Every structure is written in structure tokens, then in C-alpha cells.
Structure 1
Amino acid sequence: MKPYYILFLLLLSQFPFFAVSYHDYADALSKSIMFFEGQRSGYLPADQRLAWRGNSGLGDGWMVSQDLTGGYYDAGDNVKFNFPMAFTTTMLAWSVVEFGECMPPAELRNALVAIRWATDYLLKTVSQPNRIFVQVGDPISDHNCWERPEDMDTARTVYTVDAPNPASDVAGETAAALAASSIAFRSSDPGYAETLFRTATRVFEFADSYRGAYSDNSNIRDGVCPFYCDFDGYQDELLWGASWLRRASQDNSYLDYLQNNGKTLGADDNINEFGWDNKHAGLNVLVSKEVLESSMYSLQSYRASADSFMCTLIPESSSYHIEFTPGGLIYRPGGSNLQHATTISFLLLVYANYLERSSQTVNCGEVSISPSKLRQIAQRQVNYILGENPKGMSYMVGYSNLYPQRIHHRGSSLPSTKDHPQVIGCKEGSTYFNSSDPNPNILVGAIVGGPGEDDDYEDDRADFRKSEPTTYINAPFVGVLAYFVANPNP
């Protein structure tokens, strides 16, 4: 090995911030999709790759005489919260719709399997007309235990909303998830795609007919709040659901809905957020496709809002105000910061594609922003998450040689049933939670909440805001990584 190269490696070891910018995006993509297998509830298939997981939640739904097995645990606990699960599903499907052609064939198949694990469950939750099952599991009793999903003996309470009580947010997001997924499955399984779309239209009618937030229903509020309350209103989910039904069908009735209801449902509020509770920025980007690629100028206000959002990320723009950490990570107060970095990166790449295909740019006052500039911002976020940061740490579990070892996740932190067949009771798991030992089971591909505003991160499973992985952090990152697998140097 040449001396100057040895010196270069020594410098890297002393200053991890200056890590090599090359990343194995294909490996990260594979791991990011595999993560969802670690979050599965229900009967696990024979080809389950994270073999330390076992069957769980097999009685879900029995109290209401329904089969509600399946779906995903959204984070490090054992509750199935449908609001964030449906958003996760939408983002996985959108990842395939926009970037599926960038995925290696095996990973595209794995991504579709991950989507179907969710949609099969979501179909069960809306199988009855004018009724939606919005959650399985009592979060209070669940959060008072530290136990494996395979052992859980806490109440599997089923939370239900029946018309005329409202659930516009969860139903609207579920409609979006099913409609987006119908596009993802259209070529590989047209029959299943048709079932998803047909169900999406019915669920959207329920969402729109009985308007209101699901967490305002007194019979379920104590179970869904403060965990996944609707904090930002249900209106965005109605527009979001309609926009995905329009994308899936090209039906003009949904175009009319977006035109006629945009103002009353807050589309002009120009809220610069995107996540499980607030769909505004994503909605504006999605609808902008109609303006940019199909000259649907009646929807111009959505495109203007999408442009405005992009300008907040551009330092040269007069409207720039999104915060970044000293190391370059997008930062928003409130914890679990990487959910913002992954969703915003996703929107940057999607919007860049829409702009490029229509030979347009973003006008930020005196500054014109090209698609390549948007992609560069996204790639900086991706590289930060994968290890190009002041701590030199990958925030994706199992990627690179330095990653979080003590994540806030019950199944990962407790011995598997393979290694410890005896039941570990509700409070017996506390010994493992309080231990400083690394988690015995590697939740491959999990992206933790990540560092705070100062780029600092302590590998501590008790700090759930920073150390807990969630499905809705990973889902948009699947699409982001897929893009960079095919375009590592945009």
C-alpha cells in the first residue's frame, strides 16, 4: 500500500467527519427494506430473514370477532397504530412508484413484499362498511412492560370508529396507502391492485362523508393520545387521499375535488412539514406533477406551495429558514429528527424528477434552483445518515462498522425465543432495558431517531427520542436510497 494512502486512512481514523463520501447505497437499500421484517406482527413466513423474530399478535381482533393479525409494530413497542402504519405504507408504495425502476429486481420484490404485509392488514381494518379499526393494543399497559412481542400478555384492545363518528385522518391516509399501493402492484398483480383501488375509493368516501379527527372520538381518545393523536387536523389527509386516488385512476372527479376543496381544506396554508401527521409538503409535491408534466394549471397553487417549500431549504434564497445542524443535518425541534431528514430528502428527489422531465427549475426570487441542486441537498442528508457526520456513525443499524448498538426496541434488546425459550414477563425485561450491554439481536436496517441540533448522539436505549427506530423514518428512505443506487453521482 502506498505511503500517502496509509496517511490518508490514518487521517480518516482521527477525523471521522471527513469520511469517504462514497457509500454502498445498494447495501443500505437492502438493509432498509429488511428492517420491516423485524417489525412484522402475525404469523411469520418461512422466508423470514430476521430469524430472531417469531410469531406474535396471533389473537389480534378476537375481542371484536375479527381477524386483525398482521401489519407492523411502528416502533420499539408492540402496539399497531394504524395512522402512522398507513403513512408508512403510502411512503413505501410511493418509493416503488417513483423509484422502483432504480431498484435491483430482488429488492423491488422485497419492497413489494413489505408493502403487501401492510396492505393485507389494512384491508382487514376496513373490511366492514362505515367502520374502521384504527389501532390494536393498549399503549398504556404495553408501555409499562418491556417484553418481546412473542411474549406479550398486555391487553390487545381494538379501537374502532363507526360512522357517523369521524376518522377522516386515518381513513384518508388508509385510502392514500391503498391507492398508492394499487399503482405499485399494477404490473405484477393487477387483480390485487384492483382490490386495493376499489377499497381505497370506498374508504375515502367514509373519510370525506364523516369529517373530523379520529382522536376526537371520546371512546378511543385515551388509547391513541398522546401517542398518535391528530395534532395538525384531518383536512390534509382528505386532500392527500384524493390526490392518490387521482394519481391511481386519472379520474376527473378527484381532480375536481382537489380544485374545489383545496382552499377550504387548507391547501393554501403552505405548511412546510411532511410526516405521519402532516401531509402538506408531500401533497403539494405530489399534485405538482399534474402541473409540471400535464399543464394542469388549475392546480397551480399546489405547485407554488411546493416551490415555496423547496426555497426554504436553499441558503441562497431569501425565504431560506429550515435549520441545519453544524454537521449539515436537517433539524426540526421535537426529537426523532431523522424522520424529517428522510421525508424531506424523498420530496427533494421526487420534485427534482418532476422538474427535470418538464425542463423546469424552482424560482426562489432572484435565484433559480436546478433539479441537480435539490438532489445534492438530498444526497448530503443520505450521506450524513450513513456515516458522513461529526461522529462518523451510521444511524442505520447494521450498516458500516459503527452504528447504534443499544436501540430502544423491545425485540432487539431482549434475548430471542430461539436463545431463551422461556417467557420473559412484563417486568422481567427491565433487567435488559437497564443493561449497558449491546442489544443481542441486530435489527438490520433500522434507522434511529438520530442526533439533536448539536449533532450529538449517545448510544442509550433509555433515550427513546434519539435511539428508537420507526417504520415511518425508514419508508421514505427506501425510495431515496433506490434513487442513489442508480444515480450515485447525480
Structure 2
Amino acid sequence: MASSSVFSSALLIIFLLFTSLLLCNAFPAAPHRRHVRFATHNYRDALTKSILFYEGQRSGKLPSNQRINWRRDSGLSDGSAMHVDLVGGYYDAGDNVKFGFPMAFTTTMLSWSVVEFGGLMKGELQNAREAIRWATDYLLKATAQPDTIYVQVGDATKDHACWERPEDMDTPRSVFKIDRNNPGSEVAAETAAAFAAASLVFRRVDPTYAKLLLRRAIRVFEFADKYRGSYSNCLRRVVCPYYCSVSGYQDELLWGAAWLHRATRNPTYLRYIQVNGQTLGADETDNTFGWDNKHAGARILLSKAFLVQKVPSLHDYKGHADNYICSLIPGAPFSSAQYTPGGLLFKMNDSNSQYVTSTSFLLLTYAKYLSSAHKVVNCAGSVVTPSRLRVIAKKQVDYLLGDNPLKMSFMVGYGPRYPQRIHHRGSSLPSISAHPAKIQCKSGFSVMKSPSPNPNILVGAVVGGADQRDSFPDQRSDYEQSEPATYINAPLVGALAYLAHSFGQL
């Protein structure tokens, strides 16, 4: 009897183990939960902070729910020099000028982040929408007059001669515009792209506003295309060397048409892309994606129409997108990207982080498109899967968040160690509440040159970052490495939303 009982017990154990294995295979762990233990960062926290940063860059009358409370109202008479209302919008970086070109690109990329990954953002989605609307409300004012766009508020040269809080600024709030006689196709087409992309963000939650944005996108794009020319020509003394367009305006026309095609599904824009794509440089091999050059972004965006929406005439854009991806893959036959010893994608000394965040976003977005179509990238016989693209993107984001030789986060307020002396006037000078008296134009330079940490934490600001040797001096005077910018954060918002969701943090 005893041996029979032992035998029965052994059979029961084997049966239970076999059943357990069957159940594990039948019900695998949810993909976004499976790798939680390998998450190296709190991506949800970083996402929250990356959006919060925009509240520190606001110009105009601040709302009652303003969370970065060391800021106050500023620029309340902007536009009055030209008898127009240009109050609102964003300061682009650490100065007090409103540059329309990078502001429009920032808006496009914030919108694209929400279009692709907004469904993963949970509680941060509304904050992201508000960040976008702060920009689009301003851009609507700047484009209120037909065939005219107000592209800058503030004299950059005179502004940069001062180190003062936006609440104190007394430099000229000069207003500059483009029109039929002084065209600026790159700014106009980028603004059209911003409106079209943002219309997709608000389509379900505020259809009236979305329709307004789309109508304006169509009108502004027509202006950009009909009156062709670079704003760097007619406004050279104003916009150069700050936001000179080196790549020309052709890439923005292609980019703007791509966004209008996505937002409207109007065959007019598809025909425009088909007819003008090559002359607008669709096949160019410049693999830099940022506020000036949109070619790589346009390739990825248009590849979706082929991969997911099955538009056969856009087949070439899959090839263009693949070429861009292959240029980034370390060890691939046509790889041209440079990486620091610590693994950071390195494009240039000045604000390199913007290329890190924009590239990471494009890698994750293209991985999404490829996965939907069950496709891969072929780099001269070397197969690159969507998973590989996600790994590369994650490594870049992780570097920015602290996985680097310095063990320093390049996002202010994230992690135990981050930049303390960022090149930012409002952050570095005492706040209005701490120092109600006006700080004069030149007086602030004593603070700018001081080694003391900034008194006001610009939470979520991502600075220019490490150099090609992975070093970072954390000096306020070093604007190339220590200055944050709205267009650095914008694509990072989407990347962080994806990573936070993937690791079960959202």
C-alpha cells in the first residue's frame, strides 16, 4: 500500500507540473509586463517632467493651474509694435525671444509624439495636449492675416546682450514677419505641418478646434508653396546665426505636404508628393533630423502611408527610410553615425541632445510601423528587426537619463545627479517671489558667470548634453552643452511614453 501511495503521489506531481507548463504557454505574460525587472529608469517620472518643462518656457499670461510657480507673466504687450496680438507661445531656450521656426517644429514633434504614443500616456495625455495648445494658440495668432506670418518677437542680438528674467525684459520686442514680398517657405511649411499634426491630436477631444487648425494648415501651406523663398534671405540680419535655415525650404515643403496628406487623406497632397518629391530632395542622404532639416522625418512619416495604409505609390519612401535607419546601425555596411566611447549618438557640439531625442523617436516610430506591417529593414543583407531599433533607441534615452560614464542625468530634476548651472536666464536668476525688485539688463551677468547652482529648478529640461568624449563641465556660460531647448524635449515625450508603457510603468 505504501509503495502504491508513493507512486500515486509521484503521478500527481508530474500531472500538476505538466498542467502548469501548459497554462504558462497558454497564457504568456503580457508583453508590457514581461520585462519590468529590466527597466533601468523611471520612464513615467521622466515623461511627467519632460512635459512639465514646457510650463517653464511659457510666455504670456500664465494660467491659474501653472505648476512651475517661480515663473510669472511676461511679454504681455508682444505684437503691439505691429498692432497685432502676439501674446503667448514659448521662449525657445534660455533666452527671451520667441522664434517661430523652432517653435513650429517643437509643436509638430509634440503632436507627433501624441499621435503615435498618446494612447500610452494615461494621465499625462492631457498635460501634453495643453503643451501643444499653448503653442498652436500662439501660431494661430501669428498666421491670422492671409499670406503673412509673424515669425519672431524680440531682437535676438539685443536680448542676448542682457541676462534678465523674462518678467523683467526691457529689450525691444521687435516683430518680424514674412509675406508675399518677403517669403519664408521653410517657416510657413513647418507651421502648416504643426497645424496639421496638432489637428490630429484634437480631432476627437475638440473637433471644432481641430477643424480650425486644419483649415489654417491648408491655407498656410498654400502660401509656403506659392511664394517660395527662404526667410534666411529676407530676414538674414534677424534670424542668423540663431535659426538660419541651412538646409533650404524644400525639405519643409515635403514635410508639410506629408503631414497634410496624413491629416486630410486628400489625394491632392499625395499627387503633390509624387510630382515634387524628388525635386524637394526626398532621396537626399542627409541623415540629420532636427528643427532645420526634415528629410529623415518625412521619409519615416511617408513610409507609414506605404507600410500601414498600403499606398503603393509611396513605395520608395520605405527604401529611403531604410537607408536612414541603416546609417544609424553600429556595424551595418552603410553605417555613418558616430558614437561616443560611452555609446551616445554624436552629431555636433552644439546642442547634440536634440539629435539624440529626435533620432530615438524616429527609431521607435519606424519600429511601430514595421511591426504593424510585419516588415524588417535590410541593410545590405543584414536584417534589422523592429526590436533592434527599440533597443538602440532605449540605449540613447537611457544615456540621457544617467546610463553614461558620468552617471549623470541630462534632464534637470530627474535622478540623483543632474545639471545644476543650466544656461537659462529665468532658472539662474532669483525668482520674482525671492527678489521682487527688477534686475537690470547687465546686472544679471554676475549671476551668469557665478559658479553657484541655479536657484530655480527648471524641471524636465534636457540640456545640450555630453561632448564627443562623454564629458560635461556643467558651466552656465557653456550654452552648447548647458542650454535646454523646447525642440530637444518634444520628440523625447513620445519616446518616454513608449518606454514607460513597455516596462509597465503606465
Question: TM over 0.5: same fold?
Answer: yes
Q: Is 1:331–2:349 an aligned residue pair? A: no
Match of 2:74 among 37, 45, 56: 56
Aligned to 1:162: 179
Q: Is 1:475–2:490 an aligned residue pair? A: yes
Aligned to 2:21: none
Q: Which structure: larger Rg?
A: 2
Report matched runs for 1:213-252 at 5 Å.
213-217=230-234, 220-252=235-267
> Any stretches of 5+ residues in structure 2 without a counterpart?
1-37
**Cα shift at 1:270:** 2.7
Question: Which residue identity lines up with residue 222 of structure 1 in the other structure?
Answer: R
Match of 1:406 among 421, 428, 439: 421
The percentage of counterpart residues that share the same residue type is 59
SS in 2 for 1:268: coil
Q: Matched residues in 2 for 1:472 and 1:294: separation?
A: 29
CA contact (8 A) 2:322 2:378 kept: yes
CA contact (8 A) 2:349 2:467 kept: no
Question: Which residue identity lines up with residue 494 of structure 2 in the other structure?
Answer: G
Q: Is 1:147–2:164 an aligned residue pair? A: yes
**Cα shift at 1:21:** 5.7
CA contact (8 A) 2:89 2:134 kept: yes
- Greater CA deviation, 268-277 or 399-408? 268-277
Q: Matched residues in 1 for 2:493 and 2:136: separation?
A: 17
Report matched runs for 1:346-361 at 5 Å.
346-361=361-376
Match of 1:428 among 422, 432, 443: 443
**Cα shift at 1:489:** 8.3
Question: Which residue identity lines up with residue 85 of structure 1 in the other structure?
Answer: M
Question: Which residue identity lines up with residue 173 of structure 2 in the other structure?
Answer: R
**TM-score normalised to structure 1 length:** 0.94
Q: Is 1:115–2:158 an aligned residue pair? A: no
Match of 2:142 among 122, 125, 128: 125
CA contact (8 A) 2:419 2:474 kept: yes
**Cα shift at 1:164:** 3.4
SS in 1 for 2:460: coil
Match of 2:403 among 388, 406, 410: 388
Match of 1:299 among 304, 308, 314: 314
Aligned to 1:365: 380
Match of 1:186 among 176, 181, 203: 203
Aligned to 2:294: 279
CA contact (8 A) 1:316 1:367 kept: no
Please tell me the root mean square deviation across aligned C-alpha atoms, in Å: 1.1
Aligned to 1:265: 280
**Cα shift at 1:145:** 0.1
SS in 2 for 1:60: coil
Please list the CA deviations of residues 283-305 of structure 1 after superposition, one character each: whole Å capped at 9, or x if unmatched: 00000001111222211222211
SS in 2 for 1:54: coil
Q: Matched residues in 2 for 1:28 and 1:265: separation?
A: 37
Match of 2:48 among 25, 30, 36: 30
CA contact (8 A) 1:21 1:388 kept: no
Q: Is 1:199–2:233 an aligned residue pair? A: no
Question: Which residue identity lines up with residue 383 of structure 2 in the other structure?
Answer: S
Q: Matched residues in 1 for 2:73 and 2:504: separation?
A: 42
Aligned to 2:121: 103
Aligned to 1:83: 101
CA contact (8 A) 1:147 1:424 kept: yes
CA contact (8 A) 2:258 2:273 kept: yes
Q: Matched residues in 2 for 1:235 and 1:466: separation?
A: 30
Please list the CA deviations of residues 286-330 of structure 1 after superposition, one character each: whole Å capped at 9, or x if unmatched: 000011112222112222111001011212420011001111110
**Cα shift at 1:98:** 0.2
Distance 1:294 1:449, change over 3 A: same
Question: Which residue identity lines up with residue 63 of structure 2 in the other structure?
Answer: P
Please list the CA deviations of residues 33-71 of structure 1 after superposition, one character each: whole Å capped at 9, or x if unmatched: 000000000000011000000000001000110000000
How many residue pairs align between the two structures? 468
CA contact (8 A) 2:79 2:175 kept: yes
**Cα shift at 1:334:** 3.6
List, as ranges, runs of 4+ consecutive aligned residues in structure 1 with deviation greater than 4 Å: none
